[in-house]
Amino acid sequence: MSELAYIHPDAKIGNGVVVEPFASIYGDVEIGEGTWIGPNVVIMNGARIGKNCKIFPGAVISADSQDLKYKGEYTTTHIGDNTTIRECVTIHKGTTDRNKTVIGNNCLLMAYVHVAHDCLIGNNVIIANSTQLAGHITIDDWVIIEGMVGTQQFVHIGEHAFIAGGSLVRKNVPPYVKAAREPLSYVGVNSVGLRRRGFSDQQIMNVEDIYRVVVCSK
């Protein structure tokens, strides 16, 4: 631990955690073993951070919600194991809707991503630079969101979906689907992503058949 970091004596810090200079860790915080906290990171009350995470300079974790209905009620922010939070990411704690904001295991949030209150993000999710998530969003496992995407409140993005960069997501995105264009459209099955994750050609063909029935026949 750097002597130049501020760590509240009530914070629960696991074995092997590294806290770099000028980081600030509040009292109601738990950090799992092996996690690295970079310089100038601020981890505020209610943060529950897993093992072997990396949090890069300038990130702010578990700040109060910007929702004007938030009245200071006790809520939390949960980050799973092996997740990387890059520079200047902001993640806000929950409100009375879900009482928590959650980032799963093995996720990557690239620089300048914002995750608002009450978002629930699954495992193995990648969110690229400058993407902004409004409150109450649900993102299932293995989703990839490219850079500079804006996502509206209460949207649900299904597992293995892919969102193209610069998209404005104002509606739900089904599992396994690619979404792009303005206004947002479904533009086929995320076959490349599915193949990379071990889906067989037959499984992908089955998903494509379902896609044609559910989406293209409307």
Tokens linked to 183 = 């206004």
Determine which one of 50, 118, 122, 160 is catalytic.
118
Q: Are 159 and 173 in contact (CB under 8 A)?
A: no
**Cis amide linkage into residue 183, ω under 30° from 0:** yes
CA atoms within 13 A on the CB side of 93: 23
Is 117 an annotated catalytic residue? yes
> Which residue among 32, 80, 104, 135 is the active-site one?
135
The secondary element (H helix, E strand) that includes residue 216 is none
Q: Is the distance from CB of 4 to CB of 22 less than 8 angstroms?
A: yes
**102: nearest Cα among 115, 86, 85:** 115
Structure tokens belonging to residue 3: 């002597």
State how far the alpha carbon of 187 is from the alpha carbons of 12, 46, 118, in Å: 46, 39, 29
Q: Which residue is catalytic, options 78, 117, 136, 160?
A: 117
Q: How many CB atoms lie within 10 A of CB 117?
A: 30
Q: In degrees, to the nearest 5, what angle opens at C-alpha 83 toward C-alphas 78 and 5?
A: 75
Q: Is 135 exposed, middle or buried (0-12, 13-18, 19+ CB in 10 A)?
A: buried
- Would you please indicate which residues are annotated as catalytic (active-site) residues? 117-118, 135
